[in-house]
Amino acid sequence: MQHLFKHIKGDKTIWAIVAVLAVFSFMPVYSASTNLVYVVGSGSTFGYLIKHMVLLIMGFIIIYGVHKIPYRYFSGGSVLMLPVVVILLIYTLSQGTTIGGANASRWIRIPFVGVGFQTSTLAGVIVMVYVARYLAKNKEKKIAFKESLWQLWLPVGIILMLILPANFSTTAIIFFMVVLLGFIGGYPLKYIGYILGASALVLTLFILTAKAFPDAMPNRVSTWQSRIENFSKGNLEEGYQVTKAKIAIATGGLTGKGPGKSVQKNFLPQSSSDFIYAIIVEEFGLVGAFSVIFIYFLLLFRILIAAKKANTIFATLLVIGVGIPIIFQAMINMAVASNLFPVTGQTLPLISSGGTSIWMTCFALGMILSVSATKDETEETILDDNPLDILHETLD
């Protein structure tokens, strides 16, 4: 064990938090998977637990492998990955499938593995690294708006438009984080205002087009509209999931019904993914609910410390760009289960079942740990890396 710890670098508290969340996730995933077994009639509870454990083990391998890579390589790597992400998103739009009851074609199947991959989550991570690179590279320069349109907003806009038809919530989170990172990274406020106005216009045109040609994107805009309307009006007709989640939370009490003793898991769709927080509250009560919230805020605290201690502007923006979305996603998931936010389909990082979410969260955490493990770097070394040189070094 001591030999293993010698090879683990970076913030040890982040490593511990990830381990705690992973181990804790076994019980709610095992318990909630009974919905898939006995109601949907798919697989076995033990099988789902084993699958979840394997995905987490692979996630830890991803963290370990990524945190060993000097973080400067992520800068040029994001440039190389942008066209790959665009191709994957186009393929997903044309060939994507519905998995686990999701109401949109957001997934592609990984050949020979049988695991679904949600390409938008990979796109989100790559976009944040790319934006961090651009902002760090132009930190000491006067940014020209026209130039930034081509270098920053065109690639970001293309990726967001490819995600939007199937996944509005992920698009909104990525866009919000890009704007936030731009603000933190010194992108001029008046230019941010221009982008917000243009984005509102593009979204409006997209909605009007979708309504005018409903066969092109069936049910997407109407789904967004109904979710917002039902949430604002408190309409329970569409909110079956939310109703069951509220019952689960209300009956949890202070200490819960006990591990595996949830009743609502038998009625709540997506109980092992999108609404797993409700099952946690039902089984572990307010104690479990606040413990989970505390762990995520502790993770946020350590992410901010890693950003503050980073030696370069790129490292700071990288940590914020890939780290804050993890916490943001967790807060949205818990807010949806508590009926404080419309249904979005966001999972609870490192706790919900699902390979893509786990792997991309681990990939982001690996980058954060890479930054916290690096002692001496210079901004020039990082930003002058040629992406083709990085590819050549990787192939060698």
Q: What is the tens place of the pLDDT at every residue in 182-221? A: 999 999 999 999 999 999 999 888 888 777 766 655 555 5
Given this model, what pLDDT does residue 118 score? 83
Q: What is the mean pLDDT of residues 317-339?
A: 92
Given this model, what pLDDT does residue 340 score? 83
Instruction: Report how far residue 386's alpha carbon sits from residue 80's, in angstroms, rounded to the nearest whole number.
Output: 10
Beta bridge partners of 109: 116
- With a cut of 60, say whether residue 379 has pLDDT above it: no
Instruction: Report how far residue 313's alpha carbon sits from residue 258's, in angstroms, rounded to the nearest whole number.
Output: 47
Confidence of residue 353 (pLDDT cuts 50, 70, 90): confident
Given this model, what pLDDT does residue 39 score? 58
Greater pLDDT, 94 or 249: 249
Confidence of residue 265 (pLDDT cuts 50, 70, 90): confident
What is the tally of helices (H) and strands (E) in the chain?
A: 17, 2
Confidence of residue 64 (pLDDT cuts 50, 70, 90): very high
Given this model, what pLDDT does residue 100 score? 46
> Among the listed ranges 280-289, 330-339, 351-360, which one has the minimum average pLDDT value?
351-360
Q: What is the mean pLDDT of residues 324-337?
A: 92
- With a cut of 60, say whether residue 390 has pLDDT above it: no
Given this model, what pLDDT does residue 32 score? 80
Given this model, what pLDDT does residue 101 score? 45
> Rounded mean pLDDT of the chain?
82
Given this model, what pLDDT does residue 150 score? 92
Q: Which of 6-10, 176-180, 232-236, 338-342 has the highest mean pLDDT?
A: 176-180
* CA-to-CA separations, 367 to 176, 216, 241, 312, 385, in angstroms, rounded: 21, 38, 35, 14, 17
Closest CA to 394 of 61, 76, 7: 76
Given this model, what pLDDT does residue 349 score? 92
Torsion of CA 141, 147, 153, 157, to 10 degrees: -170
Per the listing, tokens 């901010």 go with: 304
Greater pLDDT, 354 or 381: 354
- With a cut of 60, say whether residue 236 has pLDDT above it: no
The burial class, CB within 10 Å (0-12 / 13-18 / 19+), for 109 is middle
Given this model, what pLDDT does residue 4 score? 60
Greater pLDDT, 353 or 190: 190
> Among the listed ranges 16-20, 25-29, 221-225, which one has the minimum average pLDDT value?
221-225
Given this model, what pLDDT does residue 102 score? 44
Confidence of residue 395 (pLDDT cuts 50, 70, 90): very low
**Two tokens at 77?**
């790597």
Given this model, what pLDDT does residue 256 score? 85
DSSP letter for each residue of 173-185 = HHHHHHHHHHHHT
- CB-CB neighbours of 364 under 10 Å: 28
Please give the single-letter amino acid code of residue 223: T
Q: What is the mean pLDDT of residues 7-12?
A: 83
- With a cut of 70, say whether residue 332 has pLDDT above it: yes
Given this model, what pLDDT does residue 244 score? 83
Q: What is the tens place of the pLDDT at every residue in 141-177? A: 888 888 999 999 999 999 999 988 878 888 989 999 9
CB–CB of 285/255 below 8 Å? yes
Given this model, what pLDDT does residue 237 score? 45
Given this model, what pLDDT does residue 258 score? 87
Given this model, what pLDDT does residue 324 score? 95
Question: Terminus-to-terminus CA distance in the chain, angstroms?
Answer: 32
Q: What is the mean pLDDT of residues 46-53?
A: 84
Beta bridge partners of 118: 107
> Among the listed ranges 47-56, 83-92, 377-386, which one has the minimum average pLDDT value?
377-386
HEC profile of 121-162: HHHHHHHHHHHHHHHHHCCCCCCCHHHHHHHHHHHHHHHHHH
| 229 HSE (CA, 13 A, CB side) | 8
- With a cut of 90, say whether residue 307 has pLDDT above it: yes
